[in-house]
Chain A
Amino acid sequence: MECEPITALLQQIADGDQEALNRLIPLVYGELKRVAGGFLRGERPAHTLQPTALVHEAYAKLLHQDQRSYKNRAHFLAVASSLMRQILIDHARAHRASKRGSGQVKVSLDQACASAVDRPAVMIALSDALDALERQDRAKARLVEMRYFGGLTLQESAEVSGTSVESVRHSLRVAQAFLHRELARQEDAK
């Protein structure tokens, strides 16, 4: 069963072992692909599934046990969200590198769906903006990470960060304005 090493790795990460993160990523991503692939092959009952739900599903499979058994659930969720972000960014970068070298491409978030949108670039731009937010306000960056990458609801985010839903909502609003501004700056800089 894979859950044992993964749980252990997560615990090591929580204890500050950065090396553990590097070992964990391929494991998590492999599982994520397996889960997603099941949908593609029609092995799962057909139902609407959002990307966040997919992420949840992958974690549930990975951990194979009740998350509440962790000592510090908040820490776990933060780590898991951060992990997911890292996985997605790695793949976005790899994908871009394989496709067009390492050059920066201007990305507009307004680009419409039906045209060829450089989604890996969107992902990278968002992550860069999130880095800027993290330098400014670490707590808000974590919050966005949990919402976006961990797929937590507002309620869950509030529980994890020990505040009210209203306060989470406010923080997100500030964070998002910051991110939008940061994305506009990135674009201008190119």
Chain B
Amino acid sequence: MAPGSNPPPNSDDGRGGELWSRTESLFLAALEIPENARARFLDGACGGDARLRAEVESLLAFDHGEEDLQAKFHTAAASIVDNDLIVGQRAGAYQIIDELGRGGMGTVYRAIRADDEYRKQVAIKLVNRGMDTDATLERFRQERQILANLDHPYIARLLDGGSIGGQPFFVMELVEGKPIDRYCREQDLPPEAICRLFLRVCEGVEHAHHNLIVHRDLKPGNILVTDAGIPKLLDFGVAKLLTSESHAATTLTHFAQRQMTPAYASPEQFRGLPATVSTDVYALAAILYELLTGVRAHQLSPDRPDHWERIICSDQVARPRTANRKLPRDLETIVLMGLRKEADRRYPSVEQFAADIRRYLERRPVEARTDTVPYRAARFIRRNWLAVLAGGAVFVALSGGIVVSALEVRRANRAQGALRAESQRTRAERDRAVQAEQEAEQERNRAVAERERANTEAGSAKAIVEFLRDDLLEQANPVRQSGTDMTVRAALDRAAERIQGKFADRPLVEAAIRTTMGESYFALSRFTEAQQQFQHATDLFRTHNGPRHRTTLSSMTSVAAALRAQGKLAEAERIYTAVLEVQLPTLTVRDPETLTTMGNLAVVYANQQKYSQAEALNLQVLATQRSLMGPEHLDTLRTMNNLGVNYTRQGKYDQAEDIYRRILEVRRRTQGPEHPTTLFTMTNLGAVYVAKKSNPDEAERLFLDALQGQRKILGSENRDTMLTLNNLGTLWLSEGRAVEAEKVLAESLDLRLRVLGDRHPDTLTSMTALGESLFRQSRFAEAEVRLRQAVNGFEKSGSDTWIRRMALVFLGASLSGQKRYQEAEPLILAGREGLVEKQATISASSRYLIDQSAAWIADLYQDWGKTELAAEWRQRSIGH
């Protein structure tokens, strides 16, 4: 109800008094009724009296509670009394002119330096009357010290200090500006401009953090923006020095911990736990939320402080897009990532928060991820394991790089947004239509998924969340477990024990929880346990929903995914086949789930080297997609890509080349030359050339172009970018350009170590290739270090591919090069044996290694003086 739309009822109106008393009693009665039921209540209670009803409704709209009005009033009253006392007085060399602001402990006045010929205006902060306790004074001194340490254009500067009547004061740069929320509102800034302004605020906070200072009370009122658009951080009154360990500091911290603004307080701060940089990240995210949506992240009612803890510490923050439909999805994801309840799941620093906002502004994919219920359960997981579960086929490019198809779709979703601006400028009308269609499609898919989630979660969400929170996550909570090292794994194990029998009367809730736990185990790479949970869930779904219900089938595919991850491909194949047997007749083949199952089955076939079956299945899916979705649909292209991978593995390089060329042509045209999937296809095509040992110049050009685009669009620390780097290095290696290869391989390894860790197959692949490049330069000792690291890594990760054997061969050869024959012999022999064993999987370009390793073994024996063995191996190296 708009304020002022009704004239206030007047008491000299004949029935004014009666109207008022009825208004009053209905207002009070309505307050006792939940908000969503009030309209119905008023329908009955007001009868047809429109005026009465409008009056009651307008009062209800302004029912903000008592506290804030009275507090504002008292602050104003104190200010007026103070004003007469303090204004006009001298504080050292400064003459106080008027009051600027008032906080709990201190008040800031405008002043001028009386002896300064420029009569420059400054801000003076004084401790409030009656607040000059020892603790306050100590805080005051500390604030002054903190400000003295900070020197940044976006932080109000400390100029001077002194005392008046025994009370300390300090003098700061006077900031003539407006609180950032008001500034944004009045300037009516669009989201992008808000982001740019906000990035400056982040810079100021970063500067404080670099000086080991946490602000702890960031809020719009403490960030003023000048007319020139420069933000200034104010009020470090409750800031904390992260290093201060003195007794005084400890007690001060304790005192200051209670000083905060609940509307922007993180759960840990609200609970009185020590503040970290994460506390400021949270407050910044809460501010950004408010700037972008116009509403607060936490809606705290002043007269229900007993609800605050629940709202701040447990309630899910409303999605920003519910308040501002036009807000870009990526920004929403970024804000929510900063507002996560658990400090360790927010951006680890303000820099990274800012970097993601910058990525958004530069139309690059952001790193923030949406928080989902299963995701919350598996909170320590950084990788997109869900994509693995979601199924889809696996792409292999050159030396074992694996990308999951669902990832590609997700990436495309994001990249589409990223490329939108560019497309509007440069692309033809037609391309835009294609894009719009794709977006609409994605939107539809999202809507379906949303609805589905709502359906399955509606009844059981509460129970599930409670179980996960109380029985699972709470146990893994580092705070609760202080001292003992409770791993997620242990928490899951305990939860797995506790779930038994707990939901005897609600089997579907149990199934949902077991599914989530299975996903968590899966995310932790505990595939056996994951499989058990999924299996249990499947049994429950089967008993209660029936064997042909989609929940049952979906759960079965999860079991299959867990089996696949354990390498139990035959069992996985059996399950996928069983699911398809139900899906094919009951659902149309167009159904995305059916097609996904078929795609998954094709991958299982391919991984069992059943290439012809995989090929047949992929062709079937492809035919369906071509006729129903069109030859240029994203799903169609994805299946073509899978087929290309299949051909590559089979060594059918011409067919692979042909299919990749077609994909590339379509993607360049419909998605744009810099679309991530276009770039990815370039890498795959280049990889085929390398494997085929043909068109090295074309391959190099593809890799270099892809790399340039990927660095720009995706950044360096992206799996595609790293894969292209690795492929480029491998190409140069095969051309004998070992020095150049070493450079890119070293970079690829460095990035993969950082992003993927030291056990990931991709990392180990780069490590092996780098070792080879060193070996090729006869830098045997250095090569040995890298290769040994790779061999150990393979050992620990349990990964057993031909690349592991190749690493052994090169390690042996590097030792042999250092004349350490005895050490070299067993390694190189084992390596070669493995290569022979895995011959079928080795890419064509690397098959030469089988003969080559025999020659190296012959060399080894020759140099060692074992001529007989040398001759025998020489024979093999030629005769193979």
Number of A-B contacts (CB under 8 A): 180
The answer to the question of A21 belonging to the interface, with a C-beta cut-off of 8 Å to chain B, is: no
- Give the distance in Å from the alpha carbon of A135 to the alpha carbon of B85 in the complex: 34
- Give the distance in Å from the alpha carbon of A113 to the alpha carbon of B78 in the complex: 13
One of B126-134, B493-501, B610-618 at the interface: B126-134
What's the interface size class on B, roughly?
35 or more
Is B64 a contact partner of A170 (Cβ separation < 8 A)?
A: no
- Give the distance in Å from the alpha carbon of A46 to the alpha carbon of B234 in the complex: 27
Is B20 a contact partner of A137 (Cβ separation < 8 A)?
A: yes
Is A189 a contact partner of B64 (Cβ separation < 8 A)?
A: no
> Which B53-84 residues have C-beta < 8 A from chain A?
58-66, 68-70, 72-84
Is A181 a contact partner of B3 (Cβ separation < 8 A)?
A: yes
Closest chain B residue, CB of each to CB of A187? B3
Is A39 a contact partner of B130 (Cβ separation < 8 A)?
A: yes
Besides A148-B70, A173-B66, A176-B64, 13 new A-B residue pairs in contact (Cβ under 8 A), listed by A number = A54-B81, A92-B80, A112-B219, A114-B222, A115-B224, A117-B101, A117-B102, A126-B72, A126-B76, A136-B11, A173-B31, A180-B64, A180-B69
One of A11-19, A30-38, A70-78, A156-164 at the interface: A30-38
Is A119 a contact partner of B9 (Cβ separation < 8 A)?
A: no
The answer to the question of B27 belonging to the interface, with a C-beta cut-off of 8 Å to chain A, is: yes
Interface 0/1 of A116-156, CB less than 8 Å to B: 11011011001000001001110000000001110000000
CB distance from A23 to the nearest CB of B (A): 20
Pick from B59, B98, B99: contact of A178, CB below 8 A: B59
Residues of A within 8 A of B433 (CB): none
> Which A51-103 residues have C-beta < 8 A from chain B?
51-52, 54-55, 88, 91-92, 95, 99
Closest chain A residue, CB of each to CB of B219? A112
The 8 A-B residue pairs whose C-beta atoms are closest, nearest first, are A112-B221, A49-B130, A184-B3, A180-B62, A51-B78, A181-B62, A119-B79, A39-B129
Residues of B within 8 A of A41 (CB): 165
The answer to the question of B220 belonging to the interface, with a C-beta cut-off of 8 Å to chain A, is: yes
Is A51 a contact partner of B28 (Cβ separation < 8 A)?
A: no
Interface 0/1 of B834-878, CB less than 8 Å to A: 000000000000000000000000000000000000000000000
| Given known A51-B74, A173-B28, A188-B3, contact A46–B133 (CB-CB < 8 A) | yes
Residues of B within 8 A of A180 (CB): 62-64, 69
Residues of B within 8 A of A1 (CB): none
| Given known A33-B84, A42-B165, contact A176–B78 (CB-CB < 8 A) | no
Is A88 a contact partner of B77 (Cβ separation < 8 A)?
A: yes
The answer to the question of B719 belonging to the interface, with a C-beta cut-off of 8 Å to chain A, is: no
| Interface set of A (CB-CB < 8 Å, partner B) | 32-33, 36-37, 39-42, 44, 46-52, 54-55, 88, 91-92, 95, 99, 109, 111-117, 119-120, 122-123, 126, 132, 135-137, 147-149, 170, 172-174, 176-182, 184-185, 188-189
Is B83 a contact partner of A95 (Cβ separation < 8 A)?
A: yes
Residues of A within 8 A of B82 (CB): 36
Is A116 a contact partner of B65 (Cβ separation < 8 A)?
A: no
Most buried by A among B62, B80, B108, B221: B80
CB distance from B128 to the nearest CB of A (A): 9
User: Would you list 10 pairs from A and B whose C-beta atoms are within 8 A, ordered by A residue?
Assistant: A54-B130, A88-B77, A91-B81, A112-B220, A112-B221, A113-B103, A122-B73, A148-B74, A176-B66, A178-B62
| Given known A51-B81, A99-B98, A112-B179, contact A42–B167 (CB-CB < 8 A) | yes
Is B80 a contact partner of A174 (Cβ separation < 8 A)?
A: no
CB distance from A174 to the nearest CB of B (A): 5
Is B59 a contact partner of A177 (Cβ separation < 8 A)?
A: yes
- Give the distance in Å from the alpha carbon of A40 to the alpha carbon of B85 in the complex: 9
Residues of A within 8 A of B102 (CB): 113, 117, 119
Residues of B within 8 A of A115 (CB): 100-101, 177-179, 182, 221, 224
Residues of B within 8 A of A184 (CB): 3-4, 62
Most buried by B among A113, A132, A176: A113
The answer to the question of B649 belonging to the interface, with a C-beta cut-off of 8 Å to chain A, is: no
- Give the distance in Å from the alpha carbon of A188 to the alpha carbon of B2 in the complex: 10
- Give the distance in Å from the alpha carbon of A178 to the alpha carbon of B24 in the complex: 10
The answer to the question of B44 belonging to the interface, with a C-beta cut-off of 8 Å to chain A, is: no
Is B62 a contact partner of A177 (Cβ separation < 8 A)?
A: yes
Pick from B31, B99, B219: contact of A119, CB below 8 A: B99
Is A42 a contact partner of B3 (Cβ separation < 8 A)?
A: no
| Given known A39-B130, A41-B165, A180-B69, contact A114–B221 (CB-CB < 8 A) | yes
- Give the distance in Å from the alpha carbon of A42 to the alpha carbon of B133 in the complex: 11
The answer to the question of B86 belonging to the interface, with a C-beta cut-off of 8 Å to chain A, is: yes
Residues of B within 8 A of A51 (CB): 74-75, 77-78, 81
Residues of A within 8 A of B28 (CB): 170, 173-174
